[in-house]
Amino acid sequence: MTVPDVTVVVAVYNTMPYLTACLDSLVGQSLAPGRLEVVAVDDGSTDGGGELLDEYAARHPGLFRVVHQSNSGGPAGPTNRGLELARGRYALFLGADDWLGPEALERLVTAADAWGSDVVVPKQVGVNGRLVPQGIFHANAESVGFADSALAWALADTKLFRLDLVRRHGLRRDETLKVFSDQPFTLEACLRAGKVSVLADYDCYFLVLREDRGNVTERAGVLDRLRGIAALQQVAAELAAPGEELDALRARSFAWDVPRLLQDGFLLLDDATQRRVCAETARLVERFGAREVYHRLPVSARVRLELAAAVRPEALRDQIRYEAAHGEPPEVVDGRRHYAGFPAFRDRGLGLPDGLFLLREEPVAGAVPPLDPVPPLNLAQHLWRGAVPAQVRRGLRRHPAWRRLANSVNGGRG
């Protein structure tokens, strides 16, 4: 039997009407017949999606293999089932509400073969307002890592994986995770890969934000998200190289993933759940060395993390409300040090260290500056670089109005 070049695994659960565009994009791929197989696993859909899969399989014999199973409660189960059945040299995971550009798979396989890649990150485009960080897609790259690129901000499984790598290391999703089960899988694959590459010169993968916000991540509860983040950080702790590689992965979670759960949505939780969220955050902070990367985080994220770690939900609520009402706080200048003047600063009842609020420290007059005075990127800088490709940033820097905006976001570092 001929081995396909690539198996596309599609886990399907109640994604109509988006599923039609997804399947059409697979039928329309430029790969020659026999080079592509699609394994679609219907996880107990009740919206007609299972029947639609059977129709496509009947109309396109040899292209689709369809499996029907009872609902498993999350995407990990059907994805694992599809991966078990995959026969291709490579595997790509496609969301059932997303779609591919017509040349996506051919270009990805060609690139992986030419570069000897174990993982290829395809150019991704957000649809219906879905935010997809673009920093890693500024140019094709034969080899990237976590210490020298924005790879830490691209941990979804929307990639091409060499199936031999997956089989050799027994990579599977954790089916106990209701959300983010793809991220520990992807991280382990990237850390074990001989080469991770980026294909940036073609719009390969279109990620859809559903109008009903029905994407599984949008529906997930905060405690489920925290468990997923913990699983990701566990893989990083076990496999990432200490130093820049590990710090990049820790900074991603503690600059963005955890603090965003300690915003307005936190206020809507009942008191018991708020305390549980704080306790889980405290465990994450202690277990995975969050404080070692605090210098990479904006002050607001540090403060929220520490208030949660102290299990002070009432103070955390005050902090969230203050940020919502006032935005950036006033600066407090004490000698050479500039602090963010949040109400929690030097609050004796809270006892948070001054260093948590430190914005910058003026150099001593006449002192020789360090060889590399540029500090690590903070959250706003990561988001600027992630959302806007490098070549666009370079062009914008020539425009005064955009330069003022960039300066306000990232301290003028583009």
* Per-residue pLDDT reduced to its tens digit, 334-352: 999 999 999 999 999 999 9
Would you say residue 181 has pLDDT above 90? yes
pLDDT band at 397 (very low <50, low <70, confident <90, very high): very low
Residue 370, pLDDT score: 59
Token reading at 383: 């988001």
pLDDT band at 371 (very low <50, low <70, confident <90, very high): low
Segment 247-272 shows an average pLDDT of: 97
Would you say residue 107 has pLDDT above 70? yes
CB atoms within 10 A of CB 95: 24
CB contact set of 78 (below 8 Å; sequence gap of 6+): 11, 12, 13, 41, 42, 43, 67, 69, 72
Contact 154, 136 (CB under 8 A): yes
Percent of the chain exceeding pLDDT 70 equals: 87
Q: Which three-class secondary structure state does DSSP give residue 306?
A: helix
Residue 319, pLDDT score: 98
- Complete domains list, the chain, with CATH: 6-218 (3.90.550.10), 221-361 (no CATH), 382-410 (no CATH)
Of 207, 112, 191, 85, the C-alpha closest to 147 is 191
Report the distance separating Cα 232 and Cα 267, nearest Å.
26
Segment 352-359 shows an average pLDDT of: 97
Percent of the chain exceeding pLDDT 90 equals: 82
pTM: 0.87
State the average pLDDT for the chain.
Answer: 90
pLDDT band at 238 (very low <50, low <70, confident <90, very high): very high
Question: pLDDT tens-digit profile of 5-35?
Answer: 999 999 999 999 999 999 999 999 999 989 9
Provide the residue type at 115 as one letter: W
Q: What is the CA radius of gyration of the chain?
A: 23
